[in-house]
């Protein structure tokens, strides 16, 4: 049996005891407890919907708790706003970036606390310089003067990280900060996190990637169904024990790739170019084949996918689906031709969040249903239910508003929504971003099965093990070009990474 609360001792930097929070009939937190020492990095893990983000939002002053205690250095706190939490030295990187699109990158970082120069004028130059220094520390190149609008999810996340670091907080909470980042960015972030720990700050790190948890964190708190399960030292445990505590059941293997019969060419992309994004991109995806698009964040993988599907324009080249040419910049014709696209930014492009889960899942096929005179609430629920069940979408009911679902559950709804269209080609950008370990295995099994039934799948993933585990062929993108086409049995982390960094190295030499 686990203890009801973590062991108590001298005051911790941050402590929550038996915190509860309900939203109407939905109990998000039953008994959340967490104890984080100064000078340590503490992981908070649990399945999708376990209550991690809710706990974070209570510390951040976004939500007010219904019961329980919140202590900072032993002092009891009750935050009525995010400003009050910030004033106590708490910085939070939220799971979903919350930037203001029309403001510049710098303005987003220094929101509400612009440095004032001589004559009490806001010193813009000083702000830009400080933003540049933060980016240098994180090892990224983002123009601080550009607007936040149009930045990739990864860049948005990096700006959130820069913003949190610039607050010089005593407690830094990171809710899945790495979900959109790839290896190099993650390493930079971890280096910064470790240096903050060594300065005596307390850090909380939420992630579904266990390799990161074990690499970075000193201690781990496990949550299940809104409650604290146990807190353990990383050195005294292993992934299997953590997973067992999280899910309380057996989890299937990740990457259960089964061989599928490779058939006709489904997608043919020829000479696709878009100025400043990618150049002369040609490749094919066949029926039954899973093609992985690997590369560093910013290499142009998502841009290529978006152009193929028609969300973005391209300047030259062509896209053919099952022998018929697909009109450029026309997602509707792409859908009609049999394409489905699960985008990386589920909030902006993937999910009609204000609407119910059932509507979100059946939304794409609604046109067809309506034409057949079948559009009823019952029909919607029927088309949604099998997919929602298969992906273990955890909601009170299918008529729940998708906006209030946990991050991972929203991702599952987006996938379900597109699978319900029964496409010939599925383009899926970061299929398991934010999805917990149990469902991740399920998503992988599903992709493998769909390929087995003859679907062509183009999968973008920043998780190298996922690409190597699932893809029949790996296309590596580097600075907007395809630099390698590696068959499954020859693909290794080394040759993929080499191709992913090739042209910049060549340019440097």
Ligand X SMILES: Nc1ncnc2c1ncn2[C@@H]1O[C@H](COP(=O)(O)OP(=O)(O)OP(=O)(O)O)[C@@H](O)[C@H]1O
Interacting residues toward ligand X by CB under 6 A: 23, 26, 28, 46, 48-54, 95, 394, 404-409, 436
Shortest distance, CB of residue 174 to ligand X, whole angstroms? 13
Shortest distance, CB of residue 456 to ligand X, whole angstroms? 29
Residues forming the site for Mg ion (CB under 5 A) = 52-53, 95, 407
431 exposure class (CB count in 10 Å sphere: 0-12, 13-18, 19+) = buried
| Closer residue to Mg ion in complex, CB, 95/439 | 95
| Closer residue to ligand X in complex, CB, 52/128 | 52
- Nearest position to Mg ion, beta carbon: 53
Q: CA-CA distance, 136 to 375, in Å (whole number)? A: 54
| Closer residue to ligand X in complex, CB, 343/423 | 343
| Closer residue to ligand X in complex, CB, 51/298 | 51
| Closer residue to ligand X in complex, CB, 257/440 | 440
The listed partner (ligand X, Mg ion, none) that binds 49, CB under 5 to 8 Å by sort, is: ligand X
Q: CA-CA distance, 481 to 279, in Å (whole number)? A: 6
* Residue reference for tokens 């028609």: 310
Helices (H) and strands (E) in the chain, counts: 18, 20
CA 383 to chain centre: 26
| Closer residue to Mg ion in complex, CB, 28/131 | 28
| Closer residue to Mg ion in complex, CB, 224/279 | 224
* Residue reference for tokens 């959109």: 180
CA 8 to chain centre: 34
| Closer residue to ligand X in complex, CB, 17/346 | 346
Handedness of CA 143, 146, 151, 154 (dihedral sign): positive
**DSSP line for 83-123:** HHHHHTTEEEE-SS----TTSBHHHHHHTT---B-GGG-B-
Q: CA-CA distance, 290 to 472, in Å (whole number)? A: 5
Shortest distance, CB of residue 164 to ligand X, whole angstroms? 18
The listed partner (ligand X, Mg ion, none) that binds 23, CB under 5 to 8 Å by sort, is: ligand X
Cβ neighbors of 53 (< 8 A, separation 6 or more) are 94, 95, 175, 206, 406, 407
Shortest distance, CB of residue 412 to ligand X, whole angstroms? 9
Token duo for residue 6: 């973590």
Shortest distance, CB of residue 471 to ligand X, whole angstroms? 25
Shortest distance, CB of residue 15 to ligand X, whole angstroms? 19
| Closer residue to ligand X in complex, CB, 338/408 | 408
A 10 A CB-CB count for 240 gives 10
| Closer residue to Mg ion in complex, CB, 164/478 | 164
Shortest distance, CB of residue 23 to ligand X, whole angstroms? 3
The listed partner (ligand X, Mg ion, none) that binds 383, CB under 5 to 8 Å by sort, is: none
404 exposure class (CB count in 10 Å sphere: 0-12, 13-18, 19+) = middle
Output DSSP code: residue 252.
P
Q: CA-CA distance, 60 to 54, in Å (whole number)? A: 10
Shortest distance, CB of residue 269 to ligand X, whole angstroms? 33
**DSSP line for 280-322:** EEEEEEETT-EEEEE--TTSSHHHHHHHHHTSS--SEEEEEET
The listed partner (ligand X, Mg ion, none) that binds 48, CB under 5 to 8 Å by sort, is: ligand X
Shortest distance, CB of residue 204 to Mg ion, whole angstroms? 12
Shortest distance, CB of residue 436 to ligand X, whole angstroms? 6
Q: Which of 466, 465, 473, 402 is nearest to 431 (CA)?
A: 466
The phi and psi torsions of 404 (rounded to 5 degrees) equal: -95, 5
């Amino acid at each position: 049996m686990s203890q009801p609360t973590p062991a108590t001792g001298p005051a911790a930097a941050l402590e929550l005891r038996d915190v509860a929070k309900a939203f109407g009939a939905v109990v998000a937190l039953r008994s959340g407890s967490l104890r984080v020492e100064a000078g340590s990095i503490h992981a908070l893990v649990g399945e999708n919907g376990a209550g991690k983000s809710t706990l974070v939002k209570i510390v951040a002053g976004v939500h007010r708790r219904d019961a329980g205690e919140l202590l900072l250095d032993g002092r009891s706190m009750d935050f009525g706003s995010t400003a009050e939490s910030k004033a106590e030295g708490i910085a939070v990187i939220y799971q979903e970036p919350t930037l203001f699109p029309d403001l510049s990158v710098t303005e987003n970082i220094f929101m509400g606390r612009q440095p004032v120069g001589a004559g009490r004028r806001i010193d813009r130059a000083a702000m830009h310089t400080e933003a540049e220094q933060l980016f240098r520390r994180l090892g990224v190149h983002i123009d601080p003067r550009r607007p936040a609008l149009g930045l990739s999810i990864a860049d948005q996340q990096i700006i959130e990280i820069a913003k949190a670091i610039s607050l010089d907080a005593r407690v830094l909470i990171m809710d899945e900060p790495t979900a959109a980042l790839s290896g190099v960015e993650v390493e930079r972030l971890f280096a910064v996190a470790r240096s903050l720990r060594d300065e005596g700050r307390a850090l909380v790190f939420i992630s579904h990637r266990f390799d990161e948890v074990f690499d970075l964190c000193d201690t781990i708190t496990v949550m299940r169904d809104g409650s604290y399960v146990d807190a353990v030292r990383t050195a005294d445990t292993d992934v299997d024990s953590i997973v067992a505590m999280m899910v309380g059941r057996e989890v299937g293997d990740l990457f259960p790739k089964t061989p599928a019969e490779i058939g006709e060419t489904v997608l043919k992309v020829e000479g696709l170019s878009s100025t400043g994004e990618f150049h002369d991109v040609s490749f094919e995806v066949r029926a039954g084949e899973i093609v992985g698009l690997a590369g560093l964040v910013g290499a142009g993988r998502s841009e290529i996918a978006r152009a193929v599907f028609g969300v973005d324009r391209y300047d030259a080249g062509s896209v053919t689906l099952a022998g018929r040419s697909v009109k450029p910049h026309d997602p509707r014709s792409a859908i009609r031709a049999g394409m489905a696209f699960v985008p990386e930014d589920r909030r902006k492009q993937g999910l009609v969040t204000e609407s119910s889960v059932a509507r979100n899942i059946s939304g794409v096929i609604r046109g067809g249903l309506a034409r057949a005179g079948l559009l009823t609430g019952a029909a919607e629920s029927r088309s949604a239910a099998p997919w929602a069940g298969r992906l273990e979408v955890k909601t009170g009911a299918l008529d729940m508003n998708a906006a209030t679902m946990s991050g991972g559950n929203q991702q599952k709804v987006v996938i379900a929504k597109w699978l319900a269209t029964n496409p010939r080609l599925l383009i899926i950008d970061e299929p398991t971003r934010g999805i917990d370990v149990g469902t991740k295995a399920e998503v992988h099994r599903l992709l493998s099965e769909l390929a087995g039934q003859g679907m062509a799948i183009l999968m973008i993933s920043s998780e190298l093990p996922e690409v190597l585990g699932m893809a029949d062929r790996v296309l590596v993108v580097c600075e907007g070009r395809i630099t390698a086409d590696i068959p499954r049995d020859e693909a290794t982390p080394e040759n993929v990474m080499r191709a992913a960094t090739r042209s910049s190295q060549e340019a440097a030499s």
